[in-house]
Each structure stands twice: as C-alpha cells, then as structure tokens.
C-alpha cells in the first residue's frame, strides 16, 4: 500500500465513500479523467522529463551514447516524441495520427543511421516506463483515490507504448528494405556498367570498392545459362565473385588473383541439381577496364557448349568460338565439306562421321581411333577411304583435314541439319 494511503488510514483523516468499480462505465470514465489530468500536468514538466529519459536511454543503451555535438539531436528527438505521445494521452482522437507519424519518423531515421532495432525498441520502452512512473507520482501527490483510479488504465498506457513500438519497428524495417533495395540496385548498375563497358575510367575506383574487387588485377568473366543456374549462385570458396543476373543468362566477374580461368570453371561446375546449366568462360582480362571485352568472349564461349552440363573454356574452344561468331559461314563450310556424308542414311552417316571425328582427335592415328571405336585399325582405314571418295578430298592433305576439322566442329556447335 502506498505510504500516503497508510498515513491517512492511521489518522482517520476522512471517511472515503465506497469506490465506484473500475470496470463500470463511471469508474472507467473517472480513471481516464485522472489519466488525462495527470498527463496535462506532466506536459508542464516536459523539459525535465526529456532530460530524465535521455539520461536513462544513454545509461542503458550504449548505441545512444552520442558524441557531444549530437546530443542536442537526441534530446530534440526524445522531446518531440514525448510531446506527441503525452499529448495523445490527453486528446487521443485529435493527436493520435500525429503521434504515430512521429514514431514512424523516429523509426525511419534510426534505421538510416544504423541504430540497432533492439536498441530503438528498448529506448521507446524506457520512455514509456518513465512516463508511467511520472503519471503515478503526479496522481499520488493529489490524493490516494486518483492514484487508485490511474492504476486501472495502466493496461491502456502500456498498450499505447506497445502500439508505438510496433509503428517504429515497422518504419525501421521498411526503411531497411528500401535501403537494401537501393544498395543492391546501385551494385547491380555498377556491375552492369562494368560489363557493358559504359563505366567511366574515373568511376572504376569507386566501383571496385563497392563490388569488393581490386581495381588492378587479373579477371575472367563467365556466362551462365540454363534452368537451375541459381544453384551455382553460392558463396565462393576461393575466388571473389560478382554475379549479375539476367533473364536468360547470368554473368559472373571473378578476380582470379594468381589463378587461371580453370579455377573459375571449378567454382561454377554445374552440380547434379542443375544438369541443364551451361557455362562459358573467357580468357584472362587484365584490369577492370578489360572486363567488358571478357564478357563478350564469355558469351562466345557459352555458344560453343553443345550440350547441358558443360563448362567451356574459351582458350580450349577457339576454333568453335570462331565458327559461332560467323554461323552463316560455318553452315556453308559444313555443307561444302560434309554435304555428301550428311545425305547418307542415318546409320551410315553417323558411323562415318564418328570415325572421322575419332581419327582427327587421335591425331590421325588409325590404331588409336580403332581402340576408341572398339574396332580394328583396318576397319578405320576402310571407312576413311570411303569418306575420301564421298567428299572428294584426300585426307593426306593438310588443307583438307583442316577444313574437315572445322566442318565437324561447326556441325557440332551450330547444330547444322543433317
């Protein structure tokens, strides 16, 4: 029991009438009247109340211990919040919306300044607790009955505090999302400018810092396409990667350090969960200014993939890349060199083309080609002589074998119809 109440009961100072039940309409009305009159008196102590709340916040929340030059900003923020919220206890219908706007603004500003959300909510609750304590002291100083009536609206006061904590938290989270979107969009635009060559030389230092890349160094670019390519968007274990996501193709900038493009190929090897992914990787680019050119080379390398699950390194697919760069000429070459073979029945056509391919890949060794094809070397030689008769070219001619190799590659990468 409050000391004032005990003192008056001992002295028999007065006989109080039977109290009105707080749950009744009359009792609640009286409780609200006490709350509003106490809040009105508290408004006259607003500067002192602000000092107390600021002191408590800085004592219990280290992130609010501002440098001396920023103390006034914190004091004004707390004062503005208390003025709106205590005023709202007096005239909730008139001031409720402005009080919510004030809490929303504080949540937004604290998110932008990097204040932890937990610290913000703790500060709001410290302020609420201080306001409630002051209201109780004001009511008890008037008479015990006022204090008793005030207690019955404690739930309303704390619901009010919780509501404004929720308003500030929602504003904080929305501001965080907006800042994250702006940050991600800025990084996306920087990566895009780097990859399409529109970045100015004066911007490269800032782009390097923002993307976490060295301004000078060895780079490679990968072009990734296919269903399930998001499975490759994982944190790199050895190379710094910057992903730029597109509708059908993703681009990846990798800082190689002392590694070669093979290291990037290992990073982006399609896992079993992404069997339809294809990857093309450029040759080494020196410095950020060369990234745009590497992007174009990566896209050429990607075009040389003839099947899903492949990773094509440009320096290993230069011939194929030349052909995909001029598909019309590749198609003409294929028809001119392989036309008679392509018009055979499917079984004979495939048999002879496979034999030619194996022979060329085995450096014109009939013995090794036979081992690869599981047949005798003489069988390989017989098939090769049939090919010579059909295409009208001698396989002993370096020019003929070069054109034949190009035509077979064009057929593979361009998908020339049979």
DSSP string, 238-304: SS-EEEE--SSEEEEEEE-TT--HHHHHHHTPPPTT-TT-EEEE---EESGGGHHHHHHHHHHHHHT
2's enclosing H/E stretch is none
Distance of CA 46 to the CA centre of its chain: 44
For the 326-414 domain, the top CATH level (class) is mainly alpha
Residue 312's DSSP bridge partners are 280
pLDDT of residue 418: 53
pTM of this structure: 0.63
- As a residue count, the chain comes to 418
Q: Which H or E run contains 216?
A: none
Sign of CA dihedral 76, 77, 78, 84: positive
Q: Which residues does residue 286 pair with via DSSP β-bridges, in sequence order? A: 218
3-12+21-177 against 326-414: fold identical: no
How far the first Cα of the chain sits from its last, in Å, is 100
pLDDT tens column, 269-312: 888 877 888 999 999 999 999 999 999 999 999 988 878 888 99
Report DSSP state, residue 316. G
Rounded to the nearest integer, the mean pLDDT of the chain is 86
* 227-263 pLDDT tens trace: 888 888 765 567 889 999 988 899 999 999 999 999 9
What's the rounded Cα separation, in Å, for the pair 379 and 370?
8
CA gap 112, 406 in Å, rounded: 60
Alpha carbon distance 24, 31 (integer Å): 10
Q: Which range (79-88, 134-143, 168-177) has the least confidence?
A: 134-143
Read off the DSSP letter of residue 289: G
Q: Which pLDDT value is given to residue 15?
A: 40
Model confidence at 410: pLDDT above 80: yes
Q: Residue 242: phi, psi to the nearest 5?
A: -120, 120
H or E segment to which residue 297 belongs: helix 291-303
What is the mean pLDDT of the segment spanning 362-379? 92
Average pLDDT over residues 9-33: 55
pLDDT for 247? 85
Residue 226 — left, alpha, or beta (φ > 0 → left; ψ -120 to 50 → alpha)? left
CB 367 within 8 A of CB 377: yes
Give the per-residue pLDDT at 368. 94
Q: Which residue has the tokens 């780079």?
A: 219
* Helix or strand holding residue 239 (H, E): none
Between the CA atoms of 278, 284, 288 and 293, what dihedral angle is there, to the nearest 10 degrees? -60
* Cα gap 128→117, rounded to integer Å: 17
- Distance set, CA 289 to CA 252, 255, 314 (Å): 15, 13, 19
Both tokens assigned to 238: 């050895």
pLDDT of the residue at 295: 95
Would you say domain 3-12+21-177 falls under CATH 1.20.140.10?
A: no
Cα atoms in the 13 Å half-sphere on the side-chain side of 168: 27
Longest dimension (CA), the chain: 130
Mean pLDDT of 345-373: 92
Q: Locate the domains of the chain by residue range.
A: 3-12+21-177, 205-324, 326-414
């Amino acid at each position: 029991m409050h000391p004032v109440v005990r003192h008056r009961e001992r002295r028999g100072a007065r006989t109080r009438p039977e109290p009105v039940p707080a749950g009744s309409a009359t009792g609640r009305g009286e409780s609200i009247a006490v709350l509003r009159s106490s809040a009105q008196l508290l408004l006259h102590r607003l500067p002192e109340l602000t000092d107390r709340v600021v002191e408590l916040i800085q004592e219990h929340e280290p992130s609010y211990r501002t440098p001396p030059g920023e103390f006034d900003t914190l004091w004004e923020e707390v004062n503005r919040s208390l003025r709106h919220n205590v005023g709202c206890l007096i005239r909730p219908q008139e001031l409720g919306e402005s009080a919510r706007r004030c809490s929303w603004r504080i949540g937004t500003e604290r998110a932008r300044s990097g204040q932890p959300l937990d610290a913000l909510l703790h500060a709001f609750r410290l302020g609420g607790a201080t306001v409630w304590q002051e209201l109780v002291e004001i009511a008890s100083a008037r008479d015990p009955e006022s204090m008793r009536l005030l207690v019955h609206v404690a739930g309303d006061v704390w619901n009010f505090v919780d509501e404004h904590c929720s308003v500030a938290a929602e504003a904080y989270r929305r501001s965080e999302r907006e800042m994250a979107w702006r940050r991600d969009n800025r990084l996306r635009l920087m990566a895009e400018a780097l990859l399409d060559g529109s970045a100015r030389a004066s911007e490269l230092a800032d782009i390097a810092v923002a993307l976490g890349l060295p301004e000078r160094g060895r780079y490679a670019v990968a072009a990734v396409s296919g269903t399930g390519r998001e499975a490759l968007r994982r944190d790199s274990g050895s190379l710094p990667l910057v992903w730029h996501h597109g509708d059908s193709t993703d681009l990846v900038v990798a800082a190689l350090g002392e590694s070669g493009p093979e290291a990037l190929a290992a990073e982006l090897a399609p896992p079993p969960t992404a069997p339809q992914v294809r990857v093309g990787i450029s040759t080494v680019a020196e410095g950020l200014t060369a990234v745009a050119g590497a992007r174009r080379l990566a896209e050429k390398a990607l075009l040389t993939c003839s099947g899903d699950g492949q990773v094509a390194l440009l320096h290993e697919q230069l011939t194929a890349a030349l052909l995909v760069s001029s598909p019309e000429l590749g198609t003409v070459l294929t028809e001119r060199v392989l036309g008679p073979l392509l018009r055979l029945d499917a079984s004979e056509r495939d048999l002879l083309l496979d034999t030619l391919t194996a022979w060329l890949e085995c450096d014109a060794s009939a013995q090794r080609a036979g081992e690869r094809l599981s047949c005798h070397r003489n069988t390989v030689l017989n098939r090769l002589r049939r090919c010579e008769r059909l295409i009208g070219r001698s396989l002993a001619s370096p020019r003929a074998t070069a054109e034949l190799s190009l035509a077979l590659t064009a057929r593979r990468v361009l998908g020339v119809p049979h």
